[in-house]
Structures are given as C-alpha cells and as structure tokens.
Amino acid sequence: MAKKESILNRAEKIINDRSEEKERMYGPFSEGMRRAAMIATGMTGKEFTGSDIYAAMVALKLSRHSYSYRQDNLLDACAYLGALENYVEEFGYKNDAGIDFFIPDDFNDGKIQYLNPGESVLIPSGIHVNVPDNHALIAFNKSGIAVKKTLLAGAAVVDEGYQGEMHIHIINVGDKSHPISPGDKIMQFILIPMFYDSVEEVPYEKLYEEQSSRGDGGFGSTGV
C-alpha cells in the first residue's frame, strides 16, 4: 500500500514544478515558516513559531475573501490550513514535553509490518544521544497510538553514559493486529532530571519515624 502524499508535500511539488518557479525553488514550506518566525521574533522581540506564521497566513487570506480573486484567496487559506496541520503533526507544539520518535524509513525493508496481540518489536532508531549528567531519557506512550492502536512502550530507560543506538520497543497489548509502517510517529522520549541517592537497609520498625494518618491503607482505603 503506497503512503499517501501529504497536502504539504503536494503543495511544494505544485509550486516548485511550475515553469515560472523552477529558477526560484522556494523550498519546503515548513523551513520557510520557521525562518519567518525567527525574523518576526527578531523584529518584534516577541516569540513567534512556525505555527504562528501559518495561522497569520490563513487569517490574511480569509481577510481578503471579499476582494478580487476571492476563490483564489479561499483556496490559499485551505492550503495553509492543511500545511499547518502537517506542520503541527511533524514538529509538535513548542511546549510539548516529549521528543517524538519515528519508525525509520528502512525498517522492515520499507514495508508495513503487522504486530499481533501479545507480540512486541524492537526497532533500531538509527539515533544516538548524549544524555546530560544527572538525567535520563525515558520513553513514554503517544496517547493516540496507545488509545487507538493499543501499542505501548516496553523497555523505556536510556541512562546517562549510554552511547549505543537507541531502540524503540513496542508491545501490542490489545486483541487486534495493528500495522506499523516506516515513517510512523510511534513514541516520545522525555528528558528527566534524576536525583541519585544510596539505598540503606533498615529494620521495618525503624523505617518510619512516626505513623501517618493513612498508615498502610491501600486499595480502596478511602472508599470506592
């Protein structure tokens, strides 16, 4: 099954293949929007993102709908909306906690692989990282992947000092087979500060200096 071409890639192709544009070669929309955001930030002193620039372009095109070339402006607005959706999918939001990881293009020789219930797969990411001192890089589920495909993260911790290739460990905990394809956004990693301490063994009666109000109340101790 061929991978569906995104609106963003299609728009780039149409623009760059026009005869009058071949000498200009504008380049990828996303790169242009990020550069525009940097310029706007430098001009105003306020922080702009690529998503902000896309939103401004949509607003500009919609504001012109009552003038000449109304249809062209509305079509442009739709194109920018589609490009914005692709941009957010690719780059996320600036305050996202996680760093998204994708299945490499050469995984399974570039073919779709089905993960059956109870099965897991260890995917070489092709990525090496240098984790800062007193930190760890932890794998977390992508909410959409976990909810819709029941694919969860398995092995999850990358310690500081590890210099090998990172791997993506996925487990199908559901009751249906699900496809995983090269290029899929599959997992996120979060860089977390670590507080190291030594472990000391003590007798149970000396473990707690005073009794808490909860004590050993566990499951259902506060009601159900």
Domains, the chain, in order of start with CATH, read: 7-91 (no CATH), 99-193 (2.70.40.10)
What is the reported pTM? 0.56
| Segment 59-65 mean pLDDT | 79
Of 11-25, 123-137, 141-155, 172-186, which range is least confident?
11-25
Which residue has 């550069």 as its token pair? Answer: 35
Which of 100, 112, 222, 117 has its CA nearest to residue 168?
A: 100
What average pLDDT does the segment 190-216 reach?
86
* pLDDT given at position 66: 64
User: In this predicted structure, what is the pLDDT of residue 29?
Assistant: 63
DSSP 207: T
Residue 61 and residue 76 in contact, taking contact as beta carbons nearer than 8 Å: yes
Strands 167-172 and 151-153: antiparallel
Sheet containing strand 185-193, strands side by side: 99-102, 185-193, 135-141, 157-159
Helix (H) or strand (E) holding 191: strand 185-193
Q: Is the pLDDT of residue 86 over 70?
A: no
Is the pLDDT higher at 126 or at 77? Answer: 126
Q: What average pLDDT does this structure show over 170-191? A: 91
pLDDT over 60 at 71, yes or no: yes
Residue 40 confidence (pLDDT) above 90 = no
Which residue did the predictor score with more confidence, 199 or 118?
118
Residues 6+ apart with CB under 8 A from 155: 122, 139, 167, 169
What's the token pair of residue 205? 């009666």
Phi, psi of 84 (to 5 degrees): -65, -40
Task: Give residue 58's identity as a one-letter amino acid code.
Answer: V
pLDDT of 138: 93
9 versus 167: the higher-pLDDT residue is: 167
